């Protein structure tokens, strides 16, 4: 049914331009069609059909529909973009995995090399620790305590490869540095040299005199 | 050109406003007229036409609609009534009742001239039960096919009175016939 035709008829009806038969026809239709009846009543109240208002309404409707169309497009592009981004991510991961697989043998070789170096010089990882020798007038205490001193030895002492024990006696000067270092007991030149270097390069001391036994294992 | 029912189904599936616009646009002038009847204000009626479209957007996807025009009428009228908060004074249109009514009319149109004799007899007896004003107006309008203005001229009633006599007479006639038939 053409509803524009309705509007024109309503207008003609209200303006009294319809014939008696046509008026009857519209009234009869309106009785069976409550929407038409109410519309007829409504237009009857304003005595005219404003085509300007109706076309403005059509424009509003078109604008309202266009909003969704825009939203749809934005949404659509949004999904499209998301899709592209997701594909790019997947491709990147794939490429990274491929690169990793390609490089993997090299990295494992490098690890082997490292292990090899370790095996080549087992002596380089000599455990060194020191212990205070107790005695009269021996009051030396390394700054931070013996644990810290031992930790320093462990990190600084990349020993000579030889093992053994060196006992060093020393005085402590006003600045806390060990001075007049001398070996007591068995003397191994290589070990005592290393032990002296460790003692001189190590932390400051408190007290006046000390004897320390440094063990290279 | 898609039928109205196809458009309704298609819209329910897709939610595409262009389809709904094509459905709604032809009825917009009628809905505007209806709104004006209740609001008696042009700007408010225009806004209501758009608000009704907004509620169509969601409601048409929820409800199963077999007769879009009848359903739209109920929706639009209820919108105006609710908005004016006079729903208590004027009963809200029941969709089902209205659909039954319009189906009945479709049926009547279909059967055309071949109305069974007993129905004519029934109608005649029910017509006799209407009050005098309704009976006169209904007879003049339906049987003698006079338009409202002619009925008003013949009876001397006011034009609006004629209209309401015919509307009420028709409703009473229908109720009476249903009662006697059932």
Give me the mean pLDDT over the A179-192 stretch.
Answer: 79
What range does the domain containing B120 cover? 115-181
Q: Which of the four pLDDT bands, split at 50, 70 and 90, describes residue A82?
A: confident
Asked if the C-beta of B87 comes within 8 angstroms of chain A's C-beta atoms, the answer is no
Q: Are residues B60 and B42 in the same domain?
A: yes
Q: Are residues B99 and B122 in the same domain?
A: no
Q: Which of A80-84, A207-211, A212-216, B4-8 has the highest mean pLDDT?
A: B4-8
Complex-level ipTM? 0.75
Q: Are residues B134 and B85 in the same domain?
A: no
Q: Which of the four pLDDT bands, split at 50, 70 and 90, describes residue A131?
A: confident
Q: Are residues B13 and B100 in the same domain?
A: yes
Amino acid B1: pLDDT = 55
Last residue of a domain, one of B106, B126, B153: B106
Give me the mean pLDDT over the B8-24 stretch.
Answer: 90
Q: Are residues B93 and B32 in the same domain?
A: yes
Interface of B with A in 9-68 (CB under 8 A): 16-18, 20-21, 24-38, 40, 42, 45-46, 49-50, 53
Last residue of a domain, one of B54, B77, B106: B106
The answer to whether A42 and A72 are in contact (CB under 8 A) is no
Q: Are residues B133 and B70 in the same domain?
A: no
Last residue of a domain, one of B106, B123, B140: B106
Q: Are residues B170 and B152 in the same domain?
A: yes
Least trusted range by pLDDT, from A65-79, B5-19, B60-74, B115-129: A65-79
Per residue in B30-46, pLDDT (tens digit) is 999 999 998 888 889 99
Amino acid A211: pLDDT = 86
Q: Are residues B154 and B67 in the same domain?
A: no
Distance from CA of A101 to the nearest CA of B (A): 47
Amino acid B115: pLDDT = 64
Residues of B in contact with A30 (CB under 8 A): none
Instruction: Assign residue B166 the CATH number of its domain.
Output: 1.10.10.10
Amino acid B72: pLDDT = 92
Amino acid B104: pLDDT = 47
Q: Are residues B123 and B163 in the same domain?
A: yes
Q: Are residues B43 and B122 in the same domain?
A: no
Give me the mean pLDDT over the A139-159 stretch.
Answer: 80
User: In total, how many domains does chain B have?
Assistant: 2
- Round to whole Å and give the CA distance between B176 and A3: 33
Amino acid A93: pLDDT = 95
Q: How many CB pairs under 8 A join A and B?
A: 123
Amino acid B111: pLDDT = 45
Amino acid B47: pLDDT = 92
Amino acid A95: pLDDT = 94
Structure tokens at B44: 């408010």
Amino acid B105: pLDDT = 47
Residue B101 has pLDDT above 60, yes or no: no
Q: Do residue B30 and residue A39 have CB atoms under 8 angstroms apart?
A: yes
CB-based burial label for B133 (10 Å; 0-12, 13-18, 19+)? middle
Asked if the C-beta of B145 comes within 8 angstroms of chain A's C-beta atoms, the answer is yes
Q: Are residues B20 and B79 in the same domain?
A: yes
Amino acid A214: pLDDT = 83
Amino acid A163: pLDDT = 78
Q: Do residue A35 and residue B31 have CB atoms under 8 angstroms apart?
A: yes
Instruction: Assign residue B27 the CATH number of its domain.
Output: 1.10.1740.10
Give me the mean pLDDT over the B151-162 stretch.
Answer: 90
Q: Are residues B10 and B95 in the same domain?
A: yes
> What is the per-residue DSSP string for chain A?
--HHHHHHHHHHHHTT-S-HHHHHHHHHHHHH-HHHHHHHHHHHHHTS--HHHHHHHHHHHHHHHHHHHHHHHHHHHHHHHHHHHHHHHHHHHHHHHHHHHHHHHHHHHHHHHHHHHHHH-GGGS--EEEEEPP-TT---EETTHHHHHHHHHHHH----S--EEEEEEEEE-TTS-EEEEEEESS--HHHHHHHHHHHHHS--EESSEEEEEEEE-
Interface test with A, best of B17, B22, B29, B55 (most A CBs within 10 A): B29
Give residue A55's Cα distance to chain centre: 56
């Amino acid at each position: 049914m053409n509803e524009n035709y309705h509007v024109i008829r309503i207008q003609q009806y209200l303006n009294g331009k319809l014939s008696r038969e046509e008026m009857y026809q519209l009234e009869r239709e309106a009785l069976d069609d409550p929407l038409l009846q109410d519309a007829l009543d409504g237009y009857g109240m304003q005595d005219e059909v404003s085509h300007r208002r109706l076309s403005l309404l059509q424009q509003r409707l078109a604008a309202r529909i266009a909003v969704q169309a825009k939203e749809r497009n934005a949404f659509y592009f949004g999904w499209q973009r998301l899709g592209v981004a997701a594909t790019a991510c997947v491709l990147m991961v794939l490429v990274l995995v491929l690169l990793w697989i390609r490089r993997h043998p090299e990295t494992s070789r490098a690890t082997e090399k490292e292990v090899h170096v370790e095996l080549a010089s087992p002596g380089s990882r000599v455990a060194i620790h020191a212990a205070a020798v107790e005695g009269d007038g021996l009051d030396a205490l390394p700054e931070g305590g013996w644990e810290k001193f031992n930790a320093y030895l462990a990190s600084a002492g990349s020993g000579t490869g030889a093992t053994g024990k060196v006992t060093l006696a020393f005085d402590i000067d006003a600045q806390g540095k060990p001075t007049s270092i001398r070996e007591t007991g068995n003397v191994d030149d290589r070990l005592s040299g290393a032990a002296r270097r460790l003692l001189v390069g190590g932390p400051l001391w408190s007290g006046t005199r000390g004897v320390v036994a440094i063990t290279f294992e | 050109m898609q039928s109205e029912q196809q458009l309704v189904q298609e819209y329910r599936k897709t939610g595409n406003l262009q389809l709904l616009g094509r459905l709604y646009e032809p009825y917009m002038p009628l809905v505007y007229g209806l709104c004006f009847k209740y609001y008696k204000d042009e700007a408010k009626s225009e806004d209501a036409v758009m608000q009704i479209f907004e509620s169509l957007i969601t409601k048409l996807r929820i409800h199963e609609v077999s007769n879009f025009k009848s359903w739209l009428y109920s929706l639009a009228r209820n919108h105006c009534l609710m908005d004016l908060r006079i729903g208590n004074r004027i009963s809200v249109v029941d969709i089902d009742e209205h659909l039954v009514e319009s189906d009945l009319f479709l049926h009547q149109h279909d059967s055309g001239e071949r109305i069974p004799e007993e129905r004519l007899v029934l109608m005649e007896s029910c017509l006799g039960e209407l009050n005098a004003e309704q009976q006169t107006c209904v007879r003049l309008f339906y049987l003698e096919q006079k338009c409202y203005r002619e009925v008003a001229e013949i009876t001397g009633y006011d034009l609006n009175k004629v209209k309401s006599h015919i509307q009420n007479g028709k409703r009473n006639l229908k109720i009476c016939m249903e009662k006697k038939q059932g």
